[in-house]
Chain A
Amino acid sequence: QKEVEQDPGPLSVPEGAIVSLNCTYSNSAFQYFMWYRQYSRKGPELLMYTYSSGNKEDGRFTAQVDKSSKYISLFIRDSQPSDSATYLCASFSGGYNKLIFGAGTRLAVHP
């Protein structure tokens, strides 16, 4: 079993929709959770990170962590075609020396 599981999609939504992206993890020691966005033929870029349980909001993006169920979510409001990318959830391994990624969910927002 992978430490971070993510539905690869693809997910196709119309412009303006609310998007929900989800991951589960198995390692109870994970404390920090990240969402990366990866455009085609580019490296991942950090979108948001959260610590432990709770919500964090940044513009149209909200990251949510529920440690009791080991569930991570990213919500995108008013989705735009420019949001079309692969979204990767990740956590730091013990010692914070490496990132453990999910498989990524490919999102397409069509006009």
Chain B
Amino acid sequence: DTGVSQDPRHKITKRGQNVTFRCDPISEHNRLYWYRQTLGQGPEFLTYFQNEAQLEKSRLLSDRFSAERPKGSFSTLEIQRTEQGDSAMYLCASSLAAGLDEQFFGPGTRLTVL
């Protein structure tokens, strides 16, 4: 399978715990994006990488959130001190290059904070 993969698919955690999600983009895709989707809403942009450089962060990405893309390959999204409001689907997407190239989405990681 050459699509975008995300791990884990589901995560249940208690409030205050830290969680980390992983995204593996399509091979040779330079751009990698993170979105968050809450129930009944469309995805909302969080951040994106061009290779290993994080070029933009949404104001939704509070200081409890951090994303990395070491070596420009896979990416991780960490949430520290989780809150119930962090419960959502976290989607990763990748595109070949910048601009109008199609963004291919992974299946998402569903986070539930108890």
Enumerate chain A interface residues (CB-CB to B < 8 A): 4, 6, 8, 32, 41-46, 88, 90, 92-93, 96-104
- Quick check: A43 and B56 within 8 Å, CB to CB? no
Q: How far is the CA of A37 from the CA of B106 in the complex (A)?
A: 13
Q: Count the B residues whose beta carbon is within 8 Å of the partner chain — how many?
A: 24
- Quick check: B45 and A103 within 8 Å, CB to CB? no
Q: Is B41 an interface residue (CB 8 A)?
A: yes
Contact with A along B80-114 (1 / 0, CB 8 A): 00000000000101000011101111111000000
A8 contact from B35, B40, B93, B99, Cβ within 8 A = B40
Which A residues touch B102, using CB under 8 A? Answer: 46
A43 contact from B40, B44, B100, B105, Cβ within 8 A = B105
- CB nearest to A41 among chain B residues: B107
- Quick check: A101 and B44 within 8 Å, CB to CB? yes
* Contacting residues of chain B (23-42) with chain A, CB-CB under 8 angstroms: 33, 35, 40-42
Question: Total A-B residue pairs with C-beta atoms closer than 8 Å?
Answer: 55
A sample of 11 cross-chain residue pairs with beta-carbon separation below 8 angstroms, ordered by A number, consists of A41-B107, A41-B108, A43-B105, A46-B102, A88-B42, A96-B98, A97-B48, A98-B48, A99-B45, A103-B40, A103-B41
- Quick check: A101 and B43 within 8 Å, CB to CB? yes
- Secondary structure at the B interface, as helix, strand, loop or mixed, is loop
Question: Shortest CB–CB separation between residue B64 and chain A, in angstroms?
Answer: 21
Question: Shortest CB–CB separation between residue A4 and chain B, in angstroms?
Answer: 8
Q: A44-B105, A98-B56 are in contact. Are A103 and B42 (CB under 8 A)?
A: yes
Which B residues touch A90, using CB under 8 A? Answer: 42
7 extra A-B contacts, CB within 8 A, seeds A42-B108, A43-B107, A99-B103: A8-B40, A43-B93, A45-B105, A46-B102, A88-B43, A92-B100, A97-B56
Question: Shortest CB–CB separation between residue A48 and chain B, in angstroms?
Answer: 11
